[in-house]
Chains A and B, each alone.
Chain A
Amino acid sequence: MPNLNDILIMLPEFYLVVAACLLLLLDAFMKSTERPMLHWISIAVLLVGIYLVIAGQPAQTVTAFGGMFVRDRVAEILKVFALLTTAIVFVYARPYLIDRKLVNGEFYTLMIFAVIGIMLLVSAGSLVTVYLGLELLSLSSYALVALNRDARLPSEAAIKYFVLGALASGMLLYGMSMVYGASGMGGTPTLDLAQLHHVTSYTTAPKLLLFGLIFMIVGIGFKLGAAPFHMWIPDVYQGAPTPVTAFIASGSKLAAFGMAYRLLDAGMGDLAHQWQLMLAVLAVLSLAIGNLVAIVQTNLKRLLAYSTISHMGYLLLGLSAASPEGYAAAMFYAICYALMSVAAFGVILALARSGFECEEISDLKGLNQKSPWLAFLMMLAMFSLAGVPPLVGFWAKVLVLESAIHANMLWLSLVGVVFAIIGLYYYLHVVKVVYFDKPAEGSVLAAKPDGSLRIVLSLNALALLALGLFWGPLLGWCRSAFGL
């Protein structure tokens, strides 16, 4: 029987489940004219969630439900930023949803359920919790992609996402079953990640364990969107409603990092020498495919999709170091990436209006003439993604490169910088379109008058600059999570 203490440890998650259910009820009994209220209520729900995560943080790592759920600093930091970026996405989404008459409870409840999935995933102490969190996040995401169900492109994207996602889940589950089996050979079978850590020392089936690991890495690679498991990313990014894309590109990536960390370090830490090289290969492939294919994209959302793939390559650089420094660097990277990409999508959302998605790169022509402030914010986001100082994206890259060198993988860091040069081109291309091109004839570019969006977007993009100048505290926080 779960005791009160277990529930208290999981209070933020329980609170969000209750809140999401209440939101659904509220939605059902609300008049359609009152619906926009849901927006503010949902943001408040997430902000209270952040408060609960921070306020209830125990002094040291605690576990609940017999080790199924771990509450430590890694989880805390990831949860705070997942909730924060989702709240930002809500703010950005409002005018977009109103224009397209999509304002209803489904969007908000599904998003909150997805966030609960993220929170479970990053707090997972057992293979079952990993799978549970992952499925909650994934199923909510599938539905979110298909939110605009009458349109062809989103439906296509959702089907693709679902089919490939199901396949990846299957792979992951298959791998988990092998690991579970291997743990039972020569000992008691276990799903607990902390106990799985020691399986290598006694199992009589090391090959089975290794096979399980490989299948689990496929699942992780899919969730991260690392090449060669990246196929779904471009279509889903382009097809999904832009706010949903923003969410998949930000909060969801934090979850993927959390999942990789839990499975690989907590669960399979003893096999680090095995998975290090696998991750390095994934990193090189992601860097190559992401950066090279992005060059030829004309659709901004698709471009950002390939950019995601390349950024996951950098994140993997940090993970493959398999050291606390490397994890801290990768977590710093994941957080910075979430903030950068959500800012880039924020600019798209600030410009989109009914009948105009603003998702072609050429749609941004002459933005500096029409709205210099938005152009400036877009420039900050692009230079940060490209990794040009003094923006925070640069320091994130420096950190993962350093951790790769630290792990005696100088070659990997060289691959990383070479692709940073190639990647620079397409980010500069966007800046070029925004700043150097003249507005097209009859261009309808104009900033949305939505006040909250403007303020939050400005804060979001300026945070990239501010964090670039003062990245010490965030790094210190990330490092403290790994005991540094």
Chain B
Amino acid sequence: MKKILVVDDSLSVARQLEKIINESGEFRCVGHAKNGAEAIKMNHTENPDIICMDMNMPGMDGLTALRSLVVLDKDVKVVMVTSLGGVGDKFTEALRLGAKNVISKPFEPAGVLQILRDL
């Protein structure tokens, strides 16, 4: 079963994603980081297969963390989860920095799982 790390400062988004992931039977949530700096640490300790990360977080934001993650771990697979997905410049920047895909909020569980399966 593939391991997923959720990175979001919002408790409710983390809850939504953990529920979708753990009820899928295909993926397992291995932790919840509240900002980019925690995500970098937990990528090292939990060694997830995929990281689902918010863009807009206090402290280290998602795009800054993404920059570091792809340098520190060349095999890392990051999917950004954001309400800003429809802003063309943000979406393009995330892909150029190495994100594998972008999940826009609001999301449907089936859409999230399809994107995770396609990685």
- A is bound by B: no
Point out residues on A near B: beta carbons under 8 Å.
none
Point out residues on B near A: beta carbons under 8 Å.
none
